[in-house]
Amino acid sequence: MVQKRSAHLMQVGEELEPLELFVTPELNQQYLYAEEDFHPRYITGENGNEAWVHPGLLLNMSNYTRSPSFYLDPEYGSLHAGEETEFINPARVGKKVTITWKIAKTYLKRGRFYQEVDIHLVDEDGVPIMRRNLICTYTSVNIIRSVG
């Protein structure tokens, strides 16, 4: 079930609205500049392959803040504390990638609230691209919360 409410209140099993991301050469090149990585595999393609999407783009655009339904109360900020990432296949420029998010775990650790979010990236042909288990926490001037 897709809900739109502040991310820090979301509970295990809740999902954010999926994102359908169409990676254009222009968007890919924006990230190549940001990452200072202009390898030809991301521009013209190599070894007979089409150009690949830079992994930095995929990671950034699959952060849960990118979901169309992501919302966070204004006094909160979301911090990326860590993650486990599996790289399954490179994504191709010019193809659509669908990104899904599901809250997998919530807990308190050393007085701080954490969420783990399972993230799947699959391209328009059904090819799995990447799996992530994102660990996030929140910063605020007044975080008072218990795990629900």
Partner 1 sequence: MAMEKSEFTIGQEFTGKPKKVSWERLWTFSGGPFNNNEWPKKNLHTDVEAANNVGLERVAASGTQYQGYLIELLIEIFGEKWLSYGSMKIKFPAIVADGDSILSKVKVIAKEGNGNTVKHFLEVWCENQAGEKVLVGTAIA
Binding site for partner 1 (CB under 8 A): 26-27, 30-31, 33-37, 39, 41, 46, 52, 54-56, 59-60, 63, 65, 74-77, 79-90, 135, 139-141
Q: CA-CA distance, 103 to 14, in Å (whole number)?
A: 6
CA–CA distance from 143 to each of 9, 49, 88, 138, 146 (Å)?
A: 12, 48, 37, 8, 10
Let me know: does 71 contact 7? Beta carbons within 8 Å.
yes
Closest approach of partner 1 to the CB of residue 138, in Å: 8
71-92 as b/e, with b when 16 or more CB fall inside 10 Å?
ebeeebebeeeeeeeeeeebbb
Number of neighbours of residue 9 by Cβ within 10 angstroms:
14
Q: Which is nearer to partner 1, 68 or 82 (CB)?
A: 82
Closest approach of partner 1 to the CB of residue 93, in Å: 14
Q: CA-CA distance, 94 to 21, in Å (whole number)?
A: 10
Q: Which is nearer to partner 1, 1 or 141 (CB)?
A: 141
Q: Which is nearer to partner 1, 50 or 84 (CB)?
A: 84
Closest approach of partner 1 to the CB of residue 55, in Å: 5
Q: Which is nearer to partner 1, 1 or 115 (CB)?
A: 115
Closest approach of partner 1 to the CB of residue 57, in Å: 8
CA–CA distance from 128 to each of 55, 109, 120 (Å)?
A: 14, 32, 8
Q: Which is nearer to partner 1, 1 or 49 (CB)?
A: 49
Closest approach of partner 1 to the CB of residue 19, in Å: 12
